Structure 1
Amino acid sequence: MKTRHTSPLPIFLYLLLCIVITPIFIWLGFKHAQFLHDLSYFKYIFLAPLTKLFMSIYYWLNFKYYVDNDKIIIQKGIFNISQRQFLIKNVRQSNQHTPIIFRIFKHTNLVVDTGVNSDEEGTLNFNCISLIECKRIKDLINLGGTNESKYSLKQFIKGDFIANQNERLLFKTNILDVMLSSLTSINIVAYISIIAIVTSVIDNINLRHYLPNFIYTYIKNSTLFWSTATILAFCFLLINQFIIYGNFKLLDDKDTFYSINGFIEHRTNSFKKIYIKTIAIRQNLIMQLLGIHTVETYSASPAIPQDNNANRNTFLPFIKTTPMYENLHKFFPKFSFKNVALENNSALLKRLSIIFFVPFIILLIIAIAKQNLYIFIICGVILISYLIQIIRMIFTNIIISKNTIISRTGMLNKICLYTLISDVEFFAIKQGPLQWLLNTYSITIVIRKSPVAFITIPFIPPIKKQELLDELKKR
C-alpha cells in the first residue's frame, strides 16, 4: 500500500503571488511612502498570501491518502504519524468544488462524507487534486457521476456534460427565474453598505495625491459616476445567482443524484438517494411574490451535525410551484408534499398584544413624564420583543400529512421542512412563562441521524398539541 500526497499546486500559486507582489510593495515603499502611511493596514495585505503559502506547505506535508475498492486510508502528521481507515460502503456523498484558477490547471477540491460520527473525521477534504484523480476516487467510492476531467470550460458553460451511460437529465434551471430571484433584501443592503464604505474611503483619504485631477473630480463630484455604479450594481444583483445556478442541471442514476452548477466556480455534488432524510423548500420575499422555490436535500449523515452546509445539497433551484411538486412526488414517493397554510388565531394575537402593550404603555407614559432615556430604551426592547413574537406566532406552523411532518418558519425567508415520521427519534413538549400566560405550548421534534437535528414550533394551542401527540405516538 503506497499513500500519495495531494497536488502541490497551491504552494506554487501562493509562492508566485508572493514573488509578484513583493516588488510592488518595495516600489510603493520608495515612491509612494505617504500612500502606505495613509493606508497603514494596506501593507498587511502582503501577509495574507505569505500565511497561505506556509499553510499550504503544512497541509501538503501533513496529509496523505490511499483509496481502493474497499477502503479509504488517511495518513496525517509530519513527525507523529497517524492513520485512519474508512469503509467505502459507509460513504454517503461527495462535494466537488473547482475554483476558476484550479480549472485552468485541471485541478479540483473534493470533500467526501465518510458517515463517521466525528467532527474531525466525518468529512475528508482532498484539497487540490487533479480532475483525473478526482474521477478515480469518485468511481472507487461509487459516486462517479459526470466525468469532469474530459470536458472543457466551454462545454461546462454550455451545459454539455459528459455523463455516465446510465445517467439521465432530470431538471435544468430557467434563466429568467434565476435572475429575478437574485433581487433579495440582503443583496440590496450589501450594495448600500459597499457604497457607504467606498464613500467613506474617498472622504477620509486624500486621493488627489495619487490620482489625476480629472479622475479624482469625476469620482468625487460626478452624478454620472454614481449613477453608473448604481446601474452596474443592480445588474450584478440580477446576475448574482445566475453566475452560480444559471447552468444548473440535476441528473441521476439508479442509486445516486448528481447536481452540476457554476460558471466561474464549478460545483459537482453526488449524494445517494437512500440517505436523504430531510427536504427543505426555501423562498425569499421576491420568490414568494413570483411563485418560485428552491428545494434542498439533507443527507442522513452524522458527520459534522452542527454544520448543515456539509450535508446540504441544492436539488431544484428556482423552480415554479407546479413543476416543483410534480418532481418531488416523482423523486420522493415516500414523502407527502403539502403546502403549510398560515393559521390566523385572532384570540391568541389579542392576548399576546395585551401582555406586551399594557407594560409598554405604562412605561411609555412614565418615560415621557420623566424624560428618562433608560425607560425609553426599555420601551423599545418591549416593542421589538412584541414584533418578534408576533412574527413567530403568525409565520410558524406544523402539520402532519399522512407519514410526513411538515413545518413552516420565516416571514421574509420562508422555509418548509419535510421529514418522515418514521425518522423521529423523540419529541418534547415545553411551556415557558409567556406560553403559560397564552395557554400554548412549544413542540420540539428530534430527527434521527439528520443534519437538521430538531424542529421547534412555538405557540401551539392545546387541541392541536394533542392531535400532534396522537400522530407522533403512532410512529
Structure 2
Amino acid sequence: MNRLSKLWIPLTFLKKGRETFFLYVSFMLINKLSNYIISSKSICIFFVVYGIFQFLRSYIYWKNYKYKVNKDNILLIHGYFIKHSKIIYFDQIKETNEYQPLLYKPFNLYSLSLYTESNIYGGSIKLELLSQKQLLNIYIKLYKNHPSNLSSTHHYDYVVSQKLLFLGSFSILNLLFFYLILDSFSNKLKKYLRIDFDLLNFWNLALSSTMLFLLFLIIYMFLGTIFNYVKTLLTYGNHKVQISDKNIQIKKGILKYTQETITKERIQAVIIKSSLIQRFFNITKVEIISNKEEKNSEKVVTNVVFPFVHKNNLEKLLFKLLPDFNSNLELKKISKKSILFKLSRPILILIPLYYLVELVFPVFLKIYTLIFIIIILGQLISGLFTKYSLNSNYIVFRKSNIVTNMYIIPNKNIEEFSYTQNFVHRYMKLSNLKLIIRRPSKNNINIKDISIEDTYYFYIKQITKN
C-alpha cells in the first residue's frame, strides 16, 4: 500500500496554520469589541493547543491514509478509528482533474481527482502530492498506453492567443471590481500609513467638473485595462484544448496548472457567452455543463472549454464538441409582446430606488442613472433579439442582453420540464418554459415569454418520445 508524500504533513499544517491565524485575529477583534471578556493569554493558550491538535490530526490522517493502484482499479483505505475503504474502477472513470497549485510546483508534485458516472461506483477519489512517476503510472493503467491518447500527438484543437486574451479582458464588471480594489486600497492607506486619501472625496471632486471627470475616467480605464489583462492572463493563460472522438482534454494555468479530461457523454449542455464589448470584437466564450459526484452529493460544474473564440472559428469547434448539432439551425424570435413584461419588471423596482439614491446618496445619482439606462437597454435588447428553437434534437435558447448566453441542450438530457402562465400571459398567448437537466442537481434553464403553441408542441413531442 502507498502513502501520501511526507510533504503532505508540513504543507497541510501550513494551510491549517494560516486558517488558525486568521481565526485567532478574528477572536481577538471580537474580544476587544466585547471589552475583553476573555483574557488575551487564555485565547493564546487555546489557539496554541488548537494548533497542536491540528498538527496531530494531520499526522494521524496521513498515517491512516493508504491507497493502491491495481491493474483495473484504485483501492483507497482511510479513517482514524473507523476504517473506510473505497474501490474505483478505471473503466468507470468518466472525468479526471489533475492540477498543480503554486505550493506544489517547487517539489514537482501534483493532485489528481478521478470521477465516475455515479456514486454507486464510488463517486470520486482525490490523491494528493503525487510525483510525475506515480501520476504516469495511474494514467498508463487508466488509458492503457499513454497519459491521454490525446496528448501523444501534441496537436491542440484550440490554443488561446495573446490577442484574444487582451480583447477578451475588456469587461464592465471587471472595471467595477477594480474600483472595489481601489476603494479597499484607499482604506488601507488611511488606516496603516495615515495618508488622508478618500476615494469617495476623489469621486466628488471628479464629478464636479466635466474635464476632471473625463481625465479621471481615462486614467481609470487605462489602469483598469492593465488590471483586467493581468487578471485574465493569470486565469486563462496557456489554455489549450485537445478533442478526440470520446474525450475533451483541457490544460490551463500559469500560477496553478490544471489538466482536466472529460468524456463527451458527460456533456449536459453547451453555453456560448459574449458580452456587449466582446460582441464588438466578434469574440465568444464556450462553456460546458457536466456533473461531478463527490461523496454523497452531486453538483453541477461549468467548465470553460474555450475562454475566447473568434466567431469565424466557432462553428468548427462546436462541431468537434457536438458532431450532430446543426449550427445553421433557424431560431425563432420571442414575441415582441414580451417587451412589455421585460421592461415592467425592472422599472417597478428601479424607479423607487432612483428616488432613494437621490435622497440618500445624491453624489451617485449620475452613476445610478447610467446603470438604470443599461438595465432598461438590456431588457429592450432581450425582448427584441432573444431567440429559441424547440423542434430539433437540441433545445437552443439564445438569451440576448448586455451579456448574451446561448444554451445548446441535447433533448435526451432533459429530465424534467414544466410551464407556467399568469393572467397577462394567457391573454397574450405566451408562457414560461422551465427545463431541468441532470436531476437531482436541479440545473434550471428558464425560457420566458415564448409562444404557448410552441410550448404545447414541445410538450407533445417530449411525452410521445417518452
For residues 112-136 of structure 1, the C-alpha deviation after alignment (integer angstroms, 9 at most, x for no partner) is 1122237x95332223222322222
Task: Give the C-alpha shift of residue 283 in structure 1.
Answer: 1.8
Are positions 1:444 and 2:439 aligned together? Answer: no
| Offset of residue 269 of structure 1 | 0.9
Match of 1:177 in 2: 164
Pairs aligned (count): 410
Whether the 8 Å CA contact 1:168–1:253 is kept in 2: the answer is no
Q: Structure 1: which amino acid aligns with 2:185?
A: V
1:187-209 deviation digits (Å, cap 9, x = unpaired): 2111111111121222244x25x
Query: Comparing 392-401 with 130-139, which one deviates more in the overlay?
Result: 392-401
How far apart are residue 80 of structure 1 and its match? 0.8
Task: Output the CA distance in 1 between the equivalents of 2:186 and 2:350.
Answer: 40
Preserved CA contact (<8 Å) 1:342 1:395: no
Residue 116 of structure 1 aligns with which residue?
118
Shift of residue 406, structure 1, vs aligned partner = 0.9
TM-score (norm 2): 0.71
2:337 is paired with a residue whose SS is: helix
Q: Secondary structure at the match of 1:263?
A: coil
Name the CA shift for 1:122/1:15 in 2 (closer, same or farther; >3 Å).
closer
Residues 349 and 449 (structure 1 numbering): CA distance in 2 closer, same or farther, change over 3 Å?
A: closer
CA contact (8 A) 1:442 1:456 kept: yes
Q: Percent identity?
A: 18
1:260, 1:269 within 8 Å by CA — same for their partners in 2? yes
Q: Amino acid of the residue matched to residue 67 of structure 1?
A: V
- List per-residue Cα deviations over 1:256-305 (Å, max 9, x = no partner): 22111112211111122333332221223322221111222334656687
Residues 390 and 55 from structure 1, CA distance in 2 versus in 1: closer, same or farther, beyond 3 angstroms?
A: farther
Does residue 334 (structure 1) correspond to residue 334 (structure 2)? The answer is no
Aligned to 2:189: 202
Give 1:65 shift.
2.2
When residues 79 and 273 of structure 1 are mapped into structure 2, their CA distance, relative to the original with a 3 A threshold, is: same
Kept in 2, the 8 Å contact 1:96–1:108? The answer is yes
Offset, 1:254: 5.0
Q: Which runs of 5+ in 1 are unaligned?
A: 23-36, 39-43, 148-161, 209-215, 372-382
Deviation at 1:105, TM superposition (A): 0.4
Kept in 2, the 8 Å contact 1:408–1:415? The answer is yes
Q: Work out whether 1:248 is the aligned partner of 2:239.
A: yes
Residues in 1 aligned to 2:285 and 2:252: alpha-carbon distance in whole angstroms: 14
| 1:40-439 mapped onto 2 (5 Å cutoff) | 56-57=58-59, 59-61=61-63, 63-117=65-119, 122-142=123-143, 164-165=151-152, 168-205=155-192, 207=193, 234-253=225-244, 255-299=246-290, 307-309=299-301, 312-338=302-328, 343=333, 345-350=335-340, 396-400=386-390, 402-409=392-399, 411-432=401-422, 435-436=425-426, 438-439=428-429
Deviation at 1:394, TM superposition (A): 5.6
Q: Deviations over 1:44-91 (max 9, x none)?
A: 9xx799598677546534533222232222222111111122222211
Return the alpha-carbon distance in structure 2 between the equivalents of residues 337 and 450 of structure 1: 30
Structure 2 distance, partners of 1:298, 1:144, is 29
Structure 2: which 5+ runs fail to align?
21-31, 34-42, 203-211, 360-371
| C-alpha distance in structure 2 between counterparts of 1:144 and 1:217, whole Å | 64
Deviation readout 1:397-433 (Å, 9 max, x if unpaired): 4313532111233623322221222333342222245
Distance 1:122 1:434 in 2: 46
Question: Deviation per CA, 1:190-236, whole angstroms, max 9, x where unpaired?
Answer: 1111111121222244x25xxxxxxx69999999xx99998555313
> Matched residues in 2 for 1:333 and 1:358: separation?
45
Q: 1:410 to 1:77 in 2, by over 3 A?
A: farther
- 2:380 & 2:319 partners in 1: Cα distance? 33
SS in 2 for 1:296: strand
Give the CA RMSD over aligned residues. 4.8
Which amino acid in structure 1 is aligned with residue 116 of structure 2?
Answer: T
When structure 1 is superposed on structure 2, of 350-359 and 135-144 the one drifting more is: 350-359
Aligned to 2:10: 12
Distance (whole Å) between structure 1 residues aligned to residue 3 and residue 436 of structure 2: 40
SS of match in other structure, 1:8: coil
* 1:321-374 C-alpha deviation (Å, 9 max, x unpaired): 12111222244212233578683633343477679989999x99xx99xx9xxx
Aligned-partner Cα distance in 2 for 1:428–1:256: 33
- Separation of aligned partners in 1, 2:332 and 2:168: 23
> What is the TM-score normalised by the length of structure 1?
0.70
